Amino acid sequence: MNIVDQVRQAGVVGAGGAGFPTWKKMSAQAECVIANGSECEPLLRVDQQLMTLYACELVEGMKRVMQSTGARRGIIALKEKYEKAVIALEGCPGRDSIEIHLLENYYPAGDEQALVCDVLGKIVPEGGIPLDIGAVVQNVGTLINIHRAGGGAAVTHRWLTVTGAVGSPKTIIAPVGTSVRDALAAAGGPTVSPYTVIDGGPLMGAESTGVVRKTTTSLIVLPADHKVVRYKRKPIDQDVKIARSACEGCRFCTDLCPRFLIGHTLEPHAIMGAVSYQAVEEIDPLVISQAYLCCQCGLCGMYACPTLLSPERIIKACVESLKSSGAAPLHRRKVREARPERDYRRPTVDSLVSRLELEEYDVDAPMETKPLEVNAVCIPLKQHVGAPCVPLVKKGDMVKAGQLIADIAEGKLGAPLHASITGVVSDVTEEAISIRA
């Protein structure tokens, strides 16, 4: 069995949060493979810890992707400040063919199009993907899972940072489907009440659905009235109403937009103006279709806007509206070089921590290398880009950890699911499979 088939059977998906089925990326032909170790969101610690503790597994995963894609060049990109990880990677035997590229501590260094620009000096075409310029980008956790898939190990656990307002912030290894309650208890439990849990980083994350998924990079506990929580809970109609009365047209959102800075024609201030002051049928299609170029990094609303409007949320609503109407992206323009002002308009992560009032939570979260033991899991059938999995088990079945319990229908994009604990199937619904130890 080749490595692509092994990765598919193991259920490996993008571990950085997007959840794209990894076997699909590995089926392409590319000139370069880039390991994304930037971990640019505030408070997260997991990727830098993985690069330190499992450096050589990461390197072996890189080699497998290079082999499958035919890439002659491999580059591990991580921040210069991750000194322990750099030392660990430099010490891996057989790493001679794989370069290490050091990044500055800015946000969003982990956006794959910004990363490609920094590492290769090339610009992904508007509306395109890194493969359009011969590159494949993989998260460092994904690469470790790829290496382990070669040894027959399915993805049953997830490394994630549990931090914020908890008793003992740490990075844990949790079975996929672990309840958020159990994950928080492993980190000493919440220290505030009422509280909210953000799944992912404070900028791009969303309120948790209640379980740990393959794509869960972190769980961040914040007071329910925290600035970040209030921002994420604003209804979209309220966003639009506020924009109509308060948007100054200052273009700070555009001037700091990472996609604008790499040369793309995405101007959030123009979209805000169009949505605020024009009827939908009057909006220039070339303006509104810019929404397809947004990476939803959150900088425009959570950092750049002086009145805390939400350009990225309004842009996301525009994209959903465009897709539902069947409108295709209009932008495929090739860009030769990034805008010269890019070098001094990228905010540091430290400045984000301050702006988002997260200083008290910006602490170490050491990794607990012993996997968390839980009595029950609820494994969602859709944890990836593509179609939901189809259950292969029924209520009352006995399953073992690592056993295939759901697969993708023939011809569909996705990744199979495996039992993360040994036990009995306690429930099967259209959304999830529950297992009790």
Q: What is the pLDDT of residues 118-171, one digit of tens each?
A: 999 999 999 899 999 999 999 999 999 999 999 999 999 999 999 999 999 999
What pLDDT does residue 308 have? 82
Q: 375-437 has which CATH code?
A: 2.40.50
Mean pLDDT of 183-212: 97
CATH architecture observed for domain 3-149:
3-Layer(aba) Sandwich (3.40)
What pLDDT does residue 336 have? 85
280 falls in which pLDDT band (50, 70, 90)? low
pLDDT digits (tens, 9 = 90+) for 292-331: 899 999 999 999 998 888 999 988 888 888 788 777 776 6
**Which CATH number, 3.10.20.600, 3.30.360.10, 3.30.1490.20, 3.20.20.70, labels domain 156-224+357-374?**
3.10.20.600
C-alpha span between 226 and 249 (Å, rounded)? 27
List the end-to-end C-alpha distance of the chain, in Å, as a whole number: 32
What is the domain partition of the chain in residue ranges? 3-149, 156-224+357-374, 233-346, 375-437
**Rounded (10°) angle between helices 3-10 and 140-149:** 110
Long-range own/partner contacts, residues 386-394 (CB < 8 A, 24 or more apart): 386/21, 386/412, 386/413, 386/414, 386/415, 387/412, 387/413, 387/414, 388/414, 389/414, 389/415, 389/416, 389/417, 391/428, 391/433, 393/425, 393/428, 393/433, 394/425, 394/428
pLDDT cut 70: percent of the chain above it: 97
pTM above 0.85, yes or no: yes
Mean pLDDT of 31-48: 96
pLDDT digits (tens, 9 = 90+) for 44-71: 999 999 999 999 999 999 999 999 999 9
Q: Which helix (H) or strand (E) holds 142?
A: helix 140-149
Please indicate whether the domains covering 3-149 and 375-437 agree at the CATH topology level.
Answer: no
96 falls in which pLDDT band (50, 70, 90)? confident
DSSP E strands in 323-397: the ranges are 376-380, 390-391
pLDDT digits (tens, 9 = 90+) for 262-275: 999 999 998 888 88
Residue whose token pair is 């295939």: 404
Question: Which one, of 185, 210, 186, 208, lies nearest residue 197 by Cα?
Answer: 208
Mean pLDDT of 193-210: 96
